[in-house]
Amino acid sequence: MKQGLLAALFIARKDLRTEFRTREALNASVSFALVVLMLFSFAFDLGRDEFYDISGGLLWLVYVFAGALIVNRSFIREVPNDCLDVLIASPMPPWALFLGKTIAGFVLLLVVELVSLPVYGLFNNIQWVGVFWKLLGVMILATWGIAVTGVAFSAVTVNVRLRELMLPVLHYPLLVPLLIGAMQISTTLLKGDATDIFQELRIVIVFDLIFTSLALCLIEFILVG
Amino acid sequence: MRDKVIYILGILGTLLVIGNLHHIFLGMPGEAMQGQIGKMIFVHVPAAIAGFTFYGVAVIGSIGFLITKDFKYDSLAVSSVEVAQVFALINLVTGSIWGHIIWGIWWTWDLRLTSQFMCFMLYLGYLLMRPAVAEATQRATMSAILAIFAAADIPLVIMAIRLHNVRTQHPAPVLETGGLDPTWWPPFLIAIVAFWLIGTALVLVRLRQETVGREIDSLRRELHAV
Amino acid sequence: MNAVAADGVWKYFGDYPALRGATLEAPAGACVALLGRNGAGKTTLLRILANLSKPSKGAVTVFGQSGADAKVRARIGYLGHGIGVYDDLTAFENLTLFGQLMNVPDTKAAANAALERVGLTRVRDGFAREFSRGMRQRLAVARAFLHNPDVLLLDEPFTSLDDRAIAVLHELLRDALAKGATIVMSTHQIREAMELATQVALLERGKIVHAGPRTREMLADPGWLYREYEGQHS
């Protein structure tokens, strides 16, 4: 078990190292986030107060569109040179490989989100600094859900043609409950409402728990065919 | 033998539907508040029930494949998903029409329609992904995982929509008001059984198609290996 | 106990049987040359031996245990068609990573030693994507031998190697055999394989149709085995 966790960390570190070196996916993702933010600015012509009503929804739309680009490619990194085979043939347990890549994906997603947040605040005149820590909490919880499902789908579709076209069809619908929760919480936080967000938080946490366990259990079937 | 079973189920189901419809429209008075339109319930709800039954069968088939690696489970899964999608579509369309006639709206994100729509979308993804994988074992494994993930998502969707509607005070038009009139239960149950029969017949037809398709694939590969 | 054993292995891809009851035994210290035409099932069999794929029927054991056991996998070195190294890591980073995953003690020292063995010390901090083909092959070989595996599973290892890489691989294989490792290697380069092999196995359409010691005839005339069996099984 401990060996497995160590192996997971080695894999996470490898993914992060290669990504920060080339920054291909990060650049694409951040650029995409900025473009989407800009388009949304033109799409909606709302007054300041009305805008706060959709603030959480908008934020998470940007995050999920830009983020899915990163995690859905997670296992594709292992395809050139057949590295995936070497990893599976190694003593590392399959769940460790999956966990490592999910951790790396999660970190990369957070980077994109943290970079996009100030820009989002700027373009839309949204005050987020006051609720930053709580917002960060939501970002961490919901982003884990996006990462875990995205990396799982990436593993499942590693041999599939047209996977870039297909993944949105699969991944986004699955994320709907998570996104509803995250969007609602974020809007409440940004508006400064006193409403209780516990129920939404519960959905996000349950989503994370269910899909993390499901993915860890099923990953062996996916990788060793 | 197999053919006979399919024909019997199909014919029986169709007869039930026809007989039932006849009784419903000619033998029964309109519903108290909605008139004749209220009878949409005999199609709308049984379609949902049949749909979810076959999604359930698909999940069982998917789990069966992962455990046994026997392709008959994969064939069962894909056949059931396809049939379930048809029933889901019937449910969505009748729901939309019903909503428009009674409430003047073509769509609403109420609990039932939304969860049905999400189910339809998730399994649509399942069906779209299948042709993109050439190799049968990989395709079956991928499909099984997708079916299980989709099924796990549905309870979460229901939780989330329920919460969303409460928070946003979304009007949730309920298409059926109150309980079902006692005289309405028999045709209602018959409608469900009829859909089950027709659905099963369709699944069996599709199962056979899958089996033959696999044999052809196998022969094709044999040919190329020489 | 055999070091590597496949017992009546069937593998189906869909309804197509790539392997039909393949049985192979390699005692410890043996070097098995796995021969066969394209499509015969060599890659499939090697992948199953390496635990990359599960047999549909039959069993595969390494030192009497199944590949599902991580301790067994730690003793296997696999070199498939792809080189199995990351383009965006340096040679040294690649080897330390795989060293860590293969539970090699003191990975940094082992990585340096391996780089020296294959003659890549000078490019230790170069990215794998900048290497020439021969250098990439040598790095791949370094990776496969890094943890001093007791069992080596190599899929057409000599294919498209340059002479330097061939020499390096030859030497590593000979040393491994001298230390008692077991090798199963599929190959088209029959001459190099025959030199090292102690046994040969011929795979035809998913079945092992011949398995036995490597004879002098095979060494002198490597195509002998194919011609022997072509008549009988076409």
Contacts of B123 in chain A (CB under 8 A): none
Contacts of C205 in chain B (CB under 8 A): 225
Tell me the residues of chain B between 49 and 68 that have a Cβ less than 8 Å away from chain A: 66
Reference A108, options A221, A23, A189; nearest CA is: A23
What distances in angstroms separate CA A9 from CA A5, A150, A208, one per listed residue? 6, 19, 20
Q: With an 8 Å Cβ cutoff, are A90 and C101 in contact?
A: yes
Q: Tell me which amino acid residue B176 is.
A: E
CATH number at residue C153: 3.40.50.300
Whether the predicted pLDDT of C191 surpasses 70: yes
Nearest by CB to B160, which of A162, A180, A225? A180
Go through the domains of chain B in sequence order and give each one's CATH number: 2-27+38-170+181-225 (1.20.120)
Q: With an 8 Å Cβ cutoff, are C12 and B137 in contact?
A: yes
**Per-range mean pLDDT, top range of A145-149, A195-199, A218-222, B133-137:** A145-149
Nearest by CB to A83, which of C53, C86, C103? C86
Taking the CA of residue B43 and the nearest CA in chain A, the distance in Å comes to 27
Q: Are C204 and C231 in contact (CB under 8 A)?
A: no
Taking the CA of residue B121 and the nearest CA in chain A, the distance in Å comes to 7
Mean pLDDT along residues C70-98: 93
pLDDT digits (tens, 9 = 90+) for B205-219: 999 999 898 888 878
Q: Give the confidence band of A48 by pLDDT, cuts at 50, 70, 90.
A: confident
Q: Tell me which amino acid residue A54 is.
A: I
Q: Which chains touch C (3 or more CB pairs under 8 A)?
A: A, B
In sequence order, which residues have a C-beta less than 8 Å from that of residue C214 and are 6 or more positions away? C33, C194, C197, C198, C199, C200
pTM confidence score: 0.90
CA distance A87 to C17: 26
Q: Give the confidence band of B179 by pLDDT, cuts at 50, 70, 90.
A: low
Q: Are B156 and B87 in contact (CB under 8 A)?
A: no
Q: What is the mean pLDDT of chain B?
A: 85
In sequence order, which residues have a C-beta less than 8 Å from that of residue B69 and are 6 or more positions away? B137, C56
Q: What pLDDT is stored for residue B174 in this prediction?
A: 56
Whether the predicted pLDDT of B178 surpasses 60: no
CA distance C167 to C162: 9
pLDDT digits (tens, 9 = 90+) for C148-172: 999 999 998 888 788 888 888 889 9
Q: What are phi and psi of B218, to 5 degrees?
A: -65, -45
Reference A117, options A103, A97, A131; nearest CA is: A131
Q: With an 8 Å Cβ cutoff, are B218 and C205 in contact?
A: no
CA distance B122 to A174: 7
Q: What pLDDT is stored for residue C230 in this prediction?
A: 67
Question: Considering only A74-88, C125-139, C153-167, which range has the smallest mean pLDDT?
Answer: C153-167
Q: What pLDDT is stored for residue C232 in this prediction?
A: 56
Residue A200 contacts B, CB cutoff 8 Å: yes
Q: Both ends of chain C: CA-CA distance in Å?
A: 35
Number of domains forming the structure of chain C: 1
Rg (CA), chain B: 20
Contacts of A26 in chain C (CB under 8 A): none
Whether the predicted pLDDT of B96 surpasses 50: yes
Q: Give the confidence band of C234 by pLDDT, cuts at 50, 70, 90.
A: very low
Host domain of residue C112? 2-233
Contacts of A3 in chain C (CB under 8 A): 70, 103
Mean pLDDT along residues B124-140: 89
Q: Are C91 and C115 in contact (CB under 8 A)?
A: yes
Contacts of C56 in chain B (CB under 8 A): 69
Mean pLDDT along residues B192-199: 91
pLDDT digits (tens, 9 = 90+) for A210-220: 999 999 999 98
Q: Which pair of structure tokens corresponds to residue C6?
A: 């496949």
Q: What is the mean pLDDT of chain C?
A: 88
Q: With an 8 Å Cβ cutoff, are B136 and C15 in contact?
A: yes
Contacts of B160 in chain A (CB under 8 A): 176-177, 180-181, 203
Whether the predicted pLDDT of C38 surpasses 90: no
Q: What are phi and psi of C31, to 5 degrees?
A: -125, 110
Whether the predicted pLDDT of B162 surpasses 70: yes
Could you identify the residue written with the tokens 């199953």? C48
